[in-house]
Amino acid sequence: MDLGAITKYSALHAKPNGLILQYGTAGFRTKAEHLDHVMFRMGLLAVLRSKQTKSTIGVMVTASHNPEEDNGVKLVDPLGEMLAPSWEEHATYLANAEEQDMQRVLIDISEKEAVNLQQDAFVVIGRDTRPSSEKLSQSVIDGVTVLGGQFHDYGLLTTPQLHYMVYCRNTGGRYGKATIEGYYQKLSKAFVELTKQASCSGDEYRSLKVDCANGIGALKLREMEHYFSQGLSVQLFNDGSKGKLNHLCGADFVKSHQKPPQGMEIKSNERCCSFDGDADRIVYYYHDADGHFHLIDGDKIATLISSFLKELLVEIGESLNIGVVQTAYANGSSTRYLEEVMKVPVYCTKTGVKHLHHKAREFDIGVYFEANGHGTALFSTAVEMKIKQSAEQLEDKKRKAAKMLENIIDLFNQAAGDAISDMLVIEAILALKGLTVQQWDALYTDLPNRQLKVQVADRRVISTTNAERRAVTPPGLQEAINDLVKKYKLSRAFVRPSGTEDVVRVYAEADSQESADHLAHEVSLAVF
């Protein structure tokens, strides 16, 4: 390590005095103007992580669904997953080091993690469309090169595309080609094969309106659409030509306000979906004939996907263990439907993709979705091989089902939840099953629910257990929630400190909207 060079270059990316940031659920995230030093330092850290794992590491510059003025950064580990927890701590430690301590902190981390500094390092970088992203990703590159790392800058990418690139590069090309072209081809080929098998190819199945949150999703869908246009035509809205990123549009807006995005004209019963700003979340929706808005969130997406996978397995005659992973935010009706009607086991983890992803890995087939629309399905290597064999060896109907499953496996981005990939999976399943958006929505009825934010002096006084469904501290809070919940039918409520904002979040559901609203309000009063 050339320590002199680090000191010199670090001074060019100086940390604002007194600024303390934390590597949270989705990396660092704050106003873009405060992030230059963090980017440089994450370039340094990515090199150390790459040396330690002898693998390519990813760095993504994005703040997802946050306002355009914000930005953020997260590191992507060798198999395309989120950074390991011990390295999150190093990230926080390094980001907050004072200038004169930089060398010591880097040596400290290297020693703790037994990093061989002679080892080569390779880092890949991607960024979203925010005005600040290009310059910030240049600061990441500065950090990488100061430590002698090699890099490839992919430029504009969706977050899941960067995860895909990292995964491909570290699995010797087995998963796919680590190019944007490779990504488009892999997904489109699987999608077109699948939709060829769909008997109903009426227009209503072939077209979809997509709200791109004025973000990167628009650019990438434009590049990709001609690859899959045989199976689906997409009409893009909020494509960044006029509006501001994530402003009154996008998956987060639609999910949290339970209303359609601005800038999109919706006729009754038309199938629509929204991506978020970095295209790793998706939600669907439509207006019924009476003009009522219906949201189809991550829970219903997980239900559609896991039901379809289960049906295919039955058809093929394979008994594989399939599990669905949700968080406490999953609507109670979805959990009940999956367990009681579909007979699929459901598991609950803490909020944050890394927790769900980790749990989903335990199954032959693990489907995970957060209610907010982030999710995917994971298939064990043994399952992939088994299904490939079945697709070659079995006969007739069984063979057809195995082929379908083989293509579905290819269509999922197994490195991370991916709005483009999920959209194509959903569109293929709807076409194959001949389901309209209303029929999909009718699988079960969501329990009315309400989410609130509460500002408190210190959100850390609230700690939780049982996948965030029970409050442990402050004393008495859980008992108070229990008493409130008893007053309403089919009700449930929980509180948790946010991992991305300085607030406490309250969730409540009950048999009517009025009850859910009351319960949420009463619980938020109990938090004070």
Q: Please list the active-site residues.
A: 64
Q: Report yes or no: 265 and 238 within 8 Å, Cβ to Cβ.
A: no
Cα(96)–Cα(110) distance, integer angstroms: 17
Residue 352 contacts which entry, Zn ion, ligand 16G, none (Cβ below 5-8 A, type-dependent): ligand 16G
Distances (CA, A) of 6 to 17, 74, 156: 19, 21, 27
> Could you tell me the smallest distance in angstroms from the CB atom of residue 132 to Zn ion?
17
Q: Which among ligand 16G, Zn ion, none contacts residue 402 (Cβ within 5 to 8 A by kind)?
A: none
Residues 26-45: x/- map of binding to ligand 16G (CB under 6 A)? x-------------------
Q: Tell me which residue of 4, 66, 511, 55 sits closest to 276, measured CA to CA.
A: 66
Judged by CB under 6 A, the residue of 55, 92, 110, 498 near ligand 16G is 498
User: Taking CB under 6 A as the rule, does residue 410 contact ligand 16G?
Assistant: no
Q: At its nearest, how many Å lie between Zn ion and the CB of residue 170? A: 23
Number of residues that bind ligand 16G (CB under 6 A): 13
Rounded to a whole number of angstroms, the minimum distance from the CB of residue 338 to ligand 16G is 19
Residue 499 makes contact with ligand 16G by CB under 6 A: yes
* Binding partner selected for residue 276 from Zn ion, ligand 16G, none, CB under the kind-specific 5 to 8 Å limit: Zn ion
CA separation for the pair 281, 213 (Å, rounded)? 11
CA-based R_g, the chain, Å? 23
Q: Which is nearer to ligand 16G, 399 or 469 (CB)?
A: 469
Q: Are strands 207-211 and 272-275 parallel, antiparallel or unpaired?
A: parallel
Stretch that binds ligand 16G, among 164-172, 187-195, 350-358, 394-402 (CB under 6 A): 350-358
Report, in Å, the least distance between residue 65 CB and ligand 16G.
Answer: 7
Return the closest-CA partner of residue 60 out of 148, 172, 166, 147.
Answer: 166
Q: Which residue has the tokens 């430590």?
A: 147
- Residues 234-293 binding Zn ion (CB under 5 A) are 276, 278, 280
Q: How far is CA 372 from CA 126, 330, 416, in A?
A: 23, 9, 14
Q: Strand, helix or coil at 28?
A: strand
Partner that binds at residue 182, options Zn ion, ligand 16G, none, CB closer than 5 to 8 Å by kind: none
- The verdict on 352 binding ligand 16G (CB under 6 A) reads yes
142 touches which of ligand 16G, Zn ion, none (CB within 5 to 8 A by kind)?
none
Q: Is 372 in the site for ligand 16G (CB under 6 A)?
A: yes
Question: Per-residue string for binding with Zn ion, 61-90, x by CB under 5 A?
Answer: ---x--------------------------
**254 vs 428, beta carbon nearer ligand 16G:** 254
Given Zn ion, ligand 16G, none, residue 278, with its beta carbon under 5 to 8 Å by kind, binds Zn ion
Over the window 124 to 143, marking each residue x when it contacts ligand 16G by CB under 6 A and - when it does not, the resulting string is --------------------
Q: For residue 511, give Cα distances in angstroms to 281, 330, 440, 459, 508.
A: 28, 15, 21, 29, 11
Among 500, 509, 515, 523, binds ligand 16G (CB under 6 A): 500
Torsion of CA 410, 415, 417, 422, to 10 degrees: -10
CB 29 within 8 A of CB 65: no
Q: Is 118 helix (H, G, I), strand (E, B) or coil?
A: coil
Dist CA 252 CA 245 (whole Å): 12
Alpha carbon 47 to chain centroid distance?
Answer: 24
Inter-CA distances, 110 with 47, 63, 105, Å: 11, 28, 9
Interaction site with ligand 16G (CB under 6 A) = 25-26, 351-353, 370, 372, 374, 498-501, 505
